A and B are shown apart, each in its own frame.
Chain A
Amino acid sequence: MTEQHKPVEKTALSLSVNGRQQSIQVEPRTTLLEMLREQLDLTGAKPACERGECGACTVLLDERPVHACHLLAVQVARRNIVTVEGLAERPGFQQIVDAFVARDGGQCGYCTPGFAVAAYACIRDNPGADAQHIRWALVGHICRCNAYDSIVAGVLEALKRVP
């Protein structure tokens, strides 16, 4: 613990977020999640546990789902990040939205964007997934409303709808 507080040096960082190149100044301790939410105002990824335990902050890093709270922003320099806002611009995601709504795959909705990002990757990687596959693909995501049965139904429905 230091009595004297020194301003922390910021680092210049360039990366791609939702297909657009960004140059951002961050403190080395800034997490990817904080950067997305507080500096880029991309608030679809949610803070809930701050340590990679719940999946609410899930984004795609080079197309693979990761916990944005568990990565420092400086770790993803020059990489490609896609948030749920970015997915919303992609073909195929609207079917996931429609399927979640049709099967009521969420209640309070706070964990829902994280589930939706994971569902996108699950459907892309396992087009033939059954309910059990889906459950294990989403196992890192906590929904405290426990809308799990409806979420699984929503992803199964999305599998039918995504071309």
Chain B
Amino acid sequence: MNNPFHSVGQNALRLGLAEKVRGEARYTSDLKRPGLLYGKILRSPHPHARISAIDVSAAQNAPGVHAVLTHLDVPENSIDADLKVLDPVVRFVGDEVAVVAAENPPAAEDALRLIRVEYDILPAVYDAAQALADDAPSVHAEGNLVDGEKLVVSRGDVAAGFAAAARIFTGTFSTQVHGPVGMETRSALAEWDGDRLTVWKTSRSLHTHDRQTLARVLGVPLERVRVICTNMGGGFGNKDEGRLAVLVALLARKAGRPVRLDYGRAEEFLGGRNRQSTRNRIRIGIAEDGAPQAIELTTVMNAGAYVSSGRNVTRRVGQGALYLYTCPHARFEGATVYTNRPAGGSFRGLGAPLGHFALEVLVDQIAESLQVDPLEYRLRFHVPLEGQPGQRVTPPDQMLPDEPVEGGVPFSSNGLRDCLLAGAERIGWREKRRPNGTMDGPRRRGLGLAMGIYKGGVGREAQAEVSLNPTGRVEVRVGIVDVGQGSTTVLAQIAAEVLQVPLDRVDMIMADTALTPPGHITAGSTTTFSSGSAVKLAAQNARNKLSERAAAMMDVTDVVLEEGQFLARNRARPGLSVLQVMEGLPGSSVGRAELKAGSSDYIINSFAAHFVEVEVEMDTGRLRILRYVAAHDSGRIINPRLAENQVSGAVLQFLGIALREELYLDERSGVTLNPSFLEHKSTSIVDFPPVEVIFPAGPDPIGPFGAKALGEPPVVPVLGAVANAVANASGVWLYEAPFTPRRVLQAIHEQGSARS
């Protein structure tokens, strides 16, 4: 791609990486304060119980113990509608019962063993469908269906669409629970100075979630609460719930000393927030020529004990079915259900990869049935730039949502076709792919593909400040957290581009509520789009002030900025460099921006097409990934090297999830059986070949410098692509992820005889 920019589009080195390699970068659990105490959490051994008595006297009197808190000691204010600070009812094995703070971690652990708890055991339910039965135990008093109703969104009239369809295809697809597993576990450190509170936390939402929650629950004025995230050891859309910060703040207040509490790895799997299991039933009705006429996806999502951000997860299951293929009638129905499993939450891609799995495998089954190459089918029927048929519903002056349902609105850009063609070319689809199930022998190879559509990053209130200093340094202040994806670097590049200064002149100040304007949660792949737009506008406002200064210094009425030089518009005089003008400033000059980036004319979405070659061992059910090509339309790529790393990492992360990651729960005890790296096995460095990442699409007309969302889209097509490749190799369809050898072998046994 032709790059007209000096900083945007360049492979700038990741800011802060050298400090991380040297071990100098401090994460929350690396921090210490004078007089620091260590917190530990007592967790429930029961899946559902009411605490009838609790005695902490022995723990309180143990040497080195400074504070113990139970549900009897905490404020009444809830963290979320369904989550108290501490609750006399525990709802999963691992739910929080009490917390202690002591001189060192072993002393805190010893104190936990001295707390005496009597429980009245309540009946538990683990399966979402069972939890919806009339006689099921109630996980929460309001009932097990979250919000008391299913989420339904639709376009057109699916009943009419199915009635008119020439053929109808159906399938039911399941996905299991797995953990986000950031390498850094959750941690928080709280320190009071009088009635002022500072909390350092593994948080991806310190302005909009943690600071607000702390102030509200503790009854402290917002301006006296400061929240900081120094570095985040992996966010992945996780680490946003508020209970930990509140508990640590309460411990610190009671002890009169700062307290830090770090989750252990098993706690992270239990008390963190995992991806929910889902059961997804999909129906697609097609016309004689194969064109989809009606698509309906119904999901039941097992939210676990607390819903956290689960509503959004459910909604996102439907995105592909509602919008990836041109179709006049589409409907999504989602039930989010409480059970006595550990709480679900949000994890990279939310429900989208789960819904796409169902959609993309059923589409391959349609193509096979029509004897059409699945690439050709997608090239013919994928949603085009013009969007879906139908009538716009959003009022004309309102911003269009980037989780679209309605028809009659175009995309700002749509690179699906570019991704399909470039990815197919790269993997050699047209030369190599043979019809499904035509391979033989004990090891069979096949090619598969799947597409993805995802939020473009629209919709968050974003603010930024850009200060130009006489020292020649540029300070950019944004309230968001770099969760590890590299937003510090990308936002610095955007500022450097607008101001036409070298990147090493830019200092990024982020993730501290005392030093930055309010920032949005780092979620929905929105940072480059939303905060990037805010940084761009703030930098433009700062540049305008600098232009005035330059004009005054040059004694002309108007200047232009070209290649880092202010020039008189008539070029009559020698120019001044940006740095020269900055050094002539009497003080700091600040540009600010506050906006909600998006469009009232266009839907802004990101797109992807993934291609994979697999080998299936027919006797063992083992899968090997031989090649993986990920083609992405995320508009203009601000930093190709970081973007390739992010896409490659997302695909590798999700290949592990596709092939083996699953948290098993014993339904007699409610105990999670494998909360460790060894048994919930993440992708290792020797598992998969290098991912081939390509960005074949052009810039978006609306995003900052043409950029769209990137962080989550690469996980969206993975399950479908792998399942379709397995079907191509073996002739066997997979309906449940992860695709463990047991499940693959079972599918071979069940379907194999019918095929051969």
Contacts and interface: CB of A to CB of B under 8 A. Distances in A.
Is the interface on chain B under 10, 10 to 19, 20 to 34, or 35 or more residues? 35 or more
A51 B677 CA distance: 9
Given A8-B106, A106-B21, A143-B183, A51 B484 contact: no
B29 interface: yes
Say whether chain A's binding surface is mostly helix, strand, loop, or mixed. loop
Contact of A53 (B24, B484, B676): B676
B17 interface: yes
Interface string B372-413: 000000000000000000000000000000000000000000
Interface in A7-66: 7-8, 27, 29-30, 34, 37-38, 41-51, 53-54, 56
B232 A113 contact: no
Interface string B258-275: 000010110000000000
Given A101-B21, A104-B641, A43 B63 contact: no
Contacts of A139: 684-686
A29 B113 CA distance: 16
B159 interface: no
B29 A47 contact: yes
Contact of B265 (A49, A111, A143): A49
A151 B233 contact: no
B496 interface: no
A3 interface: yes
B233 A150 contact: no
Contact of A54 (B29, B642, B677, B686): B677
B652 interface: yes
Interface stretch (B292-300, B349-357, B448-456, B643-651): B643-651
Contacts of B646: 107
B110 to A, nearest CB: 6
Nearest to A34: B105
A108 B686 contact: no
Given A5-B58, A49-B677, A108 B105 contact: no
Contacts of A37: 30
Interface in A99-121: 100-102, 104-113, 116
Contacts of A43: 23, 26-27, 30
Nearest to B641: A104
B184 interface: yes
A138 interface: yes
B359 interface: no
A97 B231 contact: no
B673 interface: no
Interface string B71-105: 00000000000000000000000000000000011
B685 A27 contact: no
A83 B23 CA distance: 9
A74 interface: no
B138 interface: no
Nearest to B31: A43
B200 interface: no
A116 to B, nearest CB: 5
A131 B114 CA distance: 52
B353 to A, nearest CB: 15
Greatest chain B CB density within 10 A among A1, A45, A46, A148 is at: A148
B648 A149 contact: yes
Nearest to B27: A110
Is the interface on chain A under 10, 10 to 19, 20 to 34, or 35 or more residues? 35 or more
Contacts of B233: 46, 108-110
A113 B656 CA distance: 23
Given A148-B685, A149-B648, A142 B23 contact: no
Interface in A55-109: 56, 83-85, 88, 96-98, 100-102, 104-109
Nearest to B231: A109
A107 B20 CA distance: 9
Contacts of A83: 23
A47 B262 contact: yes
A65 to B, nearest CB: 14
Interface in B650-676: 650-653, 656, 676
B510 to A, nearest CB: 14
A57 B556 CA distance: 61
Contacts of A88: 22-24
A38 B22 CA distance: 18
Nearest to A119: B21
Contact of B234 (A51, A105, A145, A150): A145
B183 A45 contact: no
Nearest to A42: B23
Contact of A146 (B13, B232, B642, B648): B648
B503 interface: no
A144 B232 contact: no
A116 B111 CA distance: 37
Greatest chain A CB density within 10 A among B105, B114, B233, B690 is at: B233
Say whether chain B's binding surface is mostly helix, strand, loop, or mixed. loop
B679 to A, nearest CB: 9
Nearest to A109: B20
Contact of A5 (B62, B486, B690): B62
A135 B63 CA distance: 47
Contacts of B185: 47-48
Contacts of A102: 13
B484 A107 contact: yes
Greatest chain A CB density within 10 A among B21, B29, B106 is at: B21
Given A45-B23, A142-B183, A5 B645 contact: no
B676 A51 contact: yes
B182 A3 contact: no
B183 A48 contact: yes
Nearest to A5: B62
A8 B109 CA distance: 13
Contact of B184 (A27, A30, A48, A51): A48
A129 interface: no
A159 interface: no
A145 B653 contact: yes
A18 B641 CA distance: 34
A77 B113 CA distance: 30
A114 to B, nearest CB: 9
A44 B685 contact: no
A152 interface: yes
A106 B482 CA distance: 14
B677 A150 contact: no
B515 interface: no
Nearest to B20: A109
Interface string B124-166: 0000000000000000000000000000000000000000000
A33 to B, nearest CB: 11
A7 to B, nearest CB: 5
A151 B234 CA distance: 16
B684 A149 contact: no
B20 to A, nearest CB: 3
A97 B484 CA distance: 18
Contacts of B26: 43
A104 B265 CA distance: 27
A110 B183 CA distance: 7
A46 B202 CA distance: 15
A104 B691 contact: no
A147 interface: yes
26 contacts: A3-B58, A5-B58, A5-B62, A30-B106, A38-B104, A46-B183, A48-B184, A54-B183, A84-B23, A101-B13, A101-B18, A101-B21, A104-B13, A104-B17, A107-B234, A107-B646, A108-B184, A109-B20, A110-B27, A116-B23, A139-B686, A146-B651, A147-B645, A148-B649, A148-B683, A149-B645
Given A43-B30, A108-B233, 14 more contacts: A5-B63, A43-B26, A84-B23, A98-B18, A105-B17, A109-B25, A110-B27, A110-B234, A113-B23, A139-B686, A146-B650, A149-B645, A150-B648, A151-B685
Q: Sorted from nearest, which 7 A-B pairs have the closest CB atoms?
A: A44-B23, A108-B484, A109-B20, A110-B233, A43-B30, A146-B652, A84-B23
